[in-house]
Structure 1
């Protein structure tokens, strides 16, 4: 009623459009009567009052007009969209195992042309020496075969790499056990029934994927040298999870790292020797050592790196394959016999062969200056297994893309692993569903023009308290969508610093959003201003003042017009923070 009434009021011009000169000429006319002057002033004041009244109600009406997402919710680790009934999966496995028959997966046609075609067979028909995991999983078990999924296998290598015995944080161990489910998959009943179970992370929950043991004979990863088949089996499960083997032919390590670990991934891309050196110098100017940053997080994060040189996998320069993904296995200081310390990184090619031939490669004379004890400490060996060392500067200079996945039970400023209960409480989430045309743009063209419209995005409020008394802290935030691998989708995700005048616990108007200071992420870099990015389980790392309140604004759209709803989750992991949706 109020809105209808206001639209019938004579609308004054904007302040900038009022003919002030014509109205104020009366002041300059000596002949004008004092009463006429007063009359003109009252008319102007009346117009100004009406103008302010109209715009007050416009702002209120704009906020009242917000379409509220019916399923908006705020919670912790246990909050999700309920994509799967896990009790139903467990019952299905029990039924298959107790039937005494070999399991055939009717949900995933291995003979489809997008999978193996005619080139497939059950594992017992491909080998007489079969085990799931025999002497323990490790990165060197992973060897890429006839499928172009180096991006997935390099991420798997990062997860499977053994931690040093003195590593205080065992989060990687927990993550890989969750994915591989070795207790069930190593059992005799699983082997006899030909059924295997794995878990992958999607939209905030762990999804069970069941497969049979009918594998491609050519288009798959190779078993380990000791007859372990866990790699080709988990590869098949990931192909089913993603839609087909063809779907995982080429991909992005962001997808694999996030879906294998449930962590928050950020991507540094388009690096070159020049800007990598500049980045190192900029960090040094702020008292930050890039090497120390990577060294500090290596046991609490997964790191993959890619060489994006032209020409594809057929081009190899200094032993590095162009257009290829590698896993980072280790970062360490190595002591030479003369007491000098060098900074080295250990990289692995998922081909399990073809290695770096530059400085500190397997056959480099530099190793003659390192004692046998030091070589043993860092697990150095001259083997054609795809693993190799190189110095830190060469690594930064030779690779153009780095993907860092912070594991979910950790905060980058926190020194301790949280308990299970505390870890669940730290994982703060907002979920809902975008409906194109109602609560999100219908396509990327509309996204460009309407991303700040409150009816076209979700808003959340983030309250950040100090950690260890520091006035600033790193905060990781993730924007997840119900979008599968190679489904094209774009996002707009922005963070604003609230001020004293910013309303609390309610969705802001377009005008209120525009009045706030936008905060750009540290990672990924180059996101100054407003950026439309393609979706890839996008994560962001911010350096935020504390205590402080922030407003998150996120939305998504497809390249072409679509009416298909899209579930989403905004997620942050860490202590001393509160996240809540606004409506």
Structure 2
């Protein structure tokens, strides 16, 4: 974590002596008239994103961003691959071969692995059996529950999964080529990833992710395509669920850390409404013990992470599959959360409201049926919201569109615009406001709000969501892209043609910001803005950190967005 001290203010410009003290736009006290030469006191801070608990013994080294096209292929190239196959020849991916190099980025070597195609494992393999479902997803010997819990979350909308891995691809018989194409949303666009359908197996069983239905293969092949996009299967060990949900939907995701969310009742209302309106939700378990190697001695990640006394797994990501209130005969109204372990086995919560808990006897049969309560050893279970907050470290919510008022529902979007930019070392990588003069050199974007919202509660403002995403596409199989600590700040301006100089920040409060700088892939700020001109400034915490970024702005009312040169 870092922070900076306040800075001496430059001479203030001449002002009207009668100017009155006014409230700071961001609500932080009042903003004194410039005449008194009282500078704005800013102390920016930064923090690192927490480890997930799945990180392996070997951490992927990081490098600066380069081309970012690892694993990505153009549609024309896919057709060329298909057309160049000889009769009865099946596609073999030379860029992601059936070798240990596609499994590991480290020096690990695993013996006894045989790569087999689905038709060699099942008589009638299919990509989907009765569509996609959260119950399809079963984690294998790889520590990528952050990705698989996201797959299970998005599977509540099968059409979205079918957009990612189109269902018209056959795994045997007429038209079969052994070539599989998947789509992922990467830095503002949908890209294609092409793999062959050979899967790593041991003793005739797929060793990584699979479907609960033996002849269904969308889970295993989607995981393989995602592994190629990251360079190897091992590179999927440890990640952020909110990133995976965005990659699968192109939506907006936000993480809520339990320790930083004092109003748990408000969070429950958010989860309840978000769940009812189709949002995708994951959560991750607290990690109290040091992380262990990704690849255990017997080659299975799950053997390195046993369940605790509560039946939960430390450092593990789960899918939130239901949020509900029930009426108990003796206890009254109870807030419950349904959670799914991607292991899809008997590793389940064994505390209050678990499958076998007698408390369910106080809930009417009608309510139990409506909740879809079962007593199966399938990794899915109910628990009280209080226990959920105590046992889980964070919860992430992804919506297809913006949730301006953070009420759990996707709001109407009148416009969405995006602009890509770059922090250039020595030119436009000014860092945070710990140095106002350097901060002023960052790229600046003019946001013009033209109308107010039409509802009575708008009070003459328009709802706006501003997000900044840093470039994250991989360039090399054995090197990850360095994730910068990023943030955004928004100021009001009276001059739409002019960049804000360093002197502006000494005496003007921001209208809003994304908060503490952090090395997340995307940060955002929800705002209620009056019509007028605003300047959006994306920045890294440290100065002179080169990188690429994208500014995304959503609003139900018309607005314009352009770069200030």
Q: Is TM-score (shorter-chain normalized) higher than 0.5? A: yes
Shift of 1:549: 4.0
The answer to whether the Cα contact below 8 Å between 1:411 and 1:575 also exists between their aligned partners in 2 is no
Compared CA separation, residues 174 and 498, structure 1 to 2 (3 A): farther
The answer to whether the Cα contact below 8 Å between 2:449 and 2:533 also exists between their aligned partners in 1 is yes
Task: State the distance in 1 between where 2:527 and 2:77 align.
Answer: 42
Partner residue, 2:282: 304
Compared CA separation, residues 464 and 385, structure 1 to 2 (3 A): farther
Give 1:169-188 correspondences, 5 Å limit.
Answer: 172-184=157-169
Partner residue, 1:582: 564
**Residue deviations 1:423-446, cap 9 Å, x none?**
6x62211123333233326xx8x9
**Residue deviations 1:340-367, cap 9 Å, x none?**
4322111111111211111111111111
- Residue of 532, 538, 551 corresponding to 1:570: 551
- Residue of 147, 152, 157 corresponding to 1:157: 152
Compared CA separation, residues 393 and 417, structure 1 to 2 (3 A): closer
Give the match's secondary structure for 2:441.
Answer: helix
Compared CA separation, residues 100 and 347, structure 1 to 2 (3 A): same
- Residue of 487, 490, 501 corresponding to 1:493: 487
Mean CA deviation greater in 255-264 or 143-152? 255-264
Compared CA separation, residues 179 and 397, structure 1 to 2 (3 A): same
The answer to whether the Cα contact below 8 Å between 1:197 and 1:210 also exists between their aligned partners in 2 is yes
Shift of 1:93: 5.6
- Residue of 177, 180, 185 corresponding to 1:193: 177
The answer to whether the Cα contact below 8 Å between 2:491 and 2:512 also exists between their aligned partners in 1 is no
Compared CA separation, residues 98 and 451, structure 1 to 2 (3 A): farther
Give the match's secondary structure for 2:100.
Answer: coil
Partner residue, 1:62: none
Give the match's secondary structure for 2:248.
Answer: helix
- Residue of 347, 352, 355 corresponding to 1:359: 352
Task: State the distance in 1 between where 2:227 and 2:450 align.
Answer: 39
Partner residue, 2:33: none
Task: State the distance in 2 between where 1:178 and 1:131 align.
Answer: 17
The answer to whether the Cα contact below 8 Å between 1:496 and 1:516 also exists between their aligned partners in 2 is no
Task: State the distance in 1 between where 2:491 and 2:556 align.
Answer: 19
The answer to whether the Cα contact below 8 Å between 1:451 and 1:492 also exists between their aligned partners in 2 is no
**Residue deviations 1:121-142, cap 9 Å, x none?**
2222233352110122111111
Task: State the distance in 1 between where 2:248 and 2:451 align.
Answer: 30
Shift of 1:473: 6.1
Structure 2: any 5+ residue segments left out of the alignment?
Answer: 1-9, 13-66, 105-109, 292-304, 475-479
Task: State the distance in 1 between where 2:485 and 2:193 align.
Answer: 28
Partner residue, 1:105: 93
Shift of 1:404: 1.7
- Residue of 389, 397, 415 corresponding to 1:404: 397
Q: TM-score, normalised by structure 2?
A: 0.73
1:335 aligns with 2:327: yes
1:434 aligns with 2:423: yes
Task: State the distance in 1 between where 2:407 and 2:255 align.
Answer: 22
Higher relative contact order (CA 8 A, sep 6+): 2
- Residue of 273, 276, 279 corresponding to 2:263: 279
Partner residue, 2:61: none
Q: TM-score, normalised by structure 1?
A: 0.71
- Residue of 219, 234, 237 corresponding to 1:231: 219
Partner residue, 1:551: 535
Compared CA separation, residues 456 and 409, structure 1 to 2 (3 A): closer
Compared CA separation, residues 537 and 475, structure 1 to 2 (3 A): farther
- Residue of 318, 321, 326 corresponding to 2:313: 321
Compared CA separation, residues 538 and 248, structure 1 to 2 (3 A): same
Shift of 1:150: 0.7
Partner residue, 1:345: 337
Compared CA separation, residues 257 and 462, structure 1 to 2 (3 A): farther
Partner residue, 2:34: none
Partner residue, 2:271: 294
**Residue deviations 1:156-201, cap 9 Å, x none?**
111012xxxxxxxxxx4443231121234579656x2111111111
Shift of 1:232: 0.8
- Residue of 142, 151, 155 corresponding to 1:147: 142
Give the match's secondary structure for 1:490.
Answer: coil
Partner residue, 2:368: 375
Structure 1: any 5+ residue segments left out of the alignment?
Answer: 1-13, 17-80, 162-171
Task: State the distance in 2 between where 1:235 and 1:127 align.
Answer: 19
Task: State the distance in 1 between where 2:215 and 2:437 align.
Answer: 53
- Give the structure with higher Rg (CA): 1
Shift of 1:386: 0.9
Partner residue, 1:71: none
Task: State the distance in 2 between where 1:416 and 1:403 align.
Answer: 14
Shift of 1:575: 1.6
Shift of 1:537: 2.3
The answer to whether the Cα contact below 8 Å between 2:326 and 2:336 also exists between their aligned partners in 1 is yes
Task: State the distance in 1 between where 2:146 and 2:227 align.
Answer: 13
Shift of 1:332: 1.6
Compared CA separation, residues 126 and 395, structure 1 to 2 (3 A): same
Partner residue, 2:229: 241
Shift of 1:403: 1.5
Shift of 1:225: 3.0
Shift of 1:310: 1.0
